[in-house]
Homo-oligomer: A and B are copies of this chain.
């Protein structure tokens, strides 16, 4: 069987000899768009069983069946890292979700801040972006996108033992994450207009929160998200320990 050119995320258990029925849009993609047929190879993952080499068993216009022939990569979960961000313009919000998946965030939490305009998000669309990004980047894990919540509520319900690195453009030139406490973490990216004075005061008063500077230039929120995830993964995450 040749190397799979297509990676597909499916909502189905994967294992040796396991058959996987295809949904209509997946069948359309494989057999209509990609012109695949019986015997062709597809790489499958489902977010928890690793990656599997599968083969087309039945190809139809409205459906089809794949069969798993062997595991091609073990399941690899990212560190226990959350990314909190204030949704911005649609295209950049999509980018943040894509980047968070590639960079290895485990959970993505859109938050409303005092200076955030977004009243609602399309959680399902953002979740679909995570799936697409995982298909593209070779990952086997799909971060969960939470519903939009107010930042003050999220901070009020903050889980015991989770550290928070918050990035504030007002801190240019300051600390670049000296805290090295291992364990669960979260990164908070401020909105494009910055945090409100009340939010900033509150964040600086929380013992689990660590202000971090991202250089002397002002970064857009999507740039800041990748930069902050890089700093964290480099210092505390899985960038040094992969096989």
Looking across the interface, which residue of chain B has its beta carbon closest to that of A172?
Answer: B242
Specify which of B136, B137, B230, B243 is in contact with A226 (CB 8 Å cutoff): B230
Interface residues of A in 87-112 (CB under 8 A from B): 95, 98-99, 102-104
Write out the residue numbers on chain B whose beta carbons fall within 8 Å of the beta carbon of A76.
216
- For A9-52 the 0/1 string (1 means CB < 8 A from B) is 00000000000000000000000000000000000000000000
Q: Is A184 an interface residue (CB 8 A)?
A: no
Q: Which of A117-125, A158-166, A198-206, A217-225 contacts B (4 or more CB under 8 A)?
A: A217-225
Docked-complex contact A219 and B172, CB < 8 angstroms: no
Given contacts A76-B216, A230-B231, contact A173 B242 (CB under 8 A): yes
Determine whether A147 belongs to the interface, using a CB cutoff of 8 Å to chain B: no
Is residue A70 within 8 Å, beta carbon to beta carbon, of the partner chain?
no
| Also in contact, A238 and B215, with CB within 8 A (given A226-B223, A230-B226) | yes
**Which residues of chain B are near A233, meaning CB under 8 Å?**
215
A interface residues (Cβ-Cβ under 8 A, vs B): 76, 95, 98-99, 102-104, 136-139, 172-173, 176, 213-220, 223, 226-227, 229-231, 233-234, 237-243
21 A-B contacts (beta carbon < 8 Å)? A76-B216, A95-B95, A98-B220, A102-B220, A103-B217, A103-B219, A103-B223, A104-B215, A137-B217, A137-B219, A138-B218, A172-B242, A173-B240, A176-B239, A176-B240, A214-B239, A215-B239, A226-B227, A227-B229, A227-B230, A234-B234
Can you name 19 extra interface pairs (CB under 8 A) apart from A215-B237, A216-B243?
A102-B219, A102-B220, A103-B215, A103-B219, A103-B223, A103-B227, A104-B215, A137-B217, A137-B219, A137-B220, A139-B217, A176-B234, A176-B239, A213-B239, A216-B238, A226-B226, A226-B227, A227-B229, A230-B231
The 4 closest A-B pairs by CB, nearest first: A216-B242, A173-B242, A230-B230, A226-B226
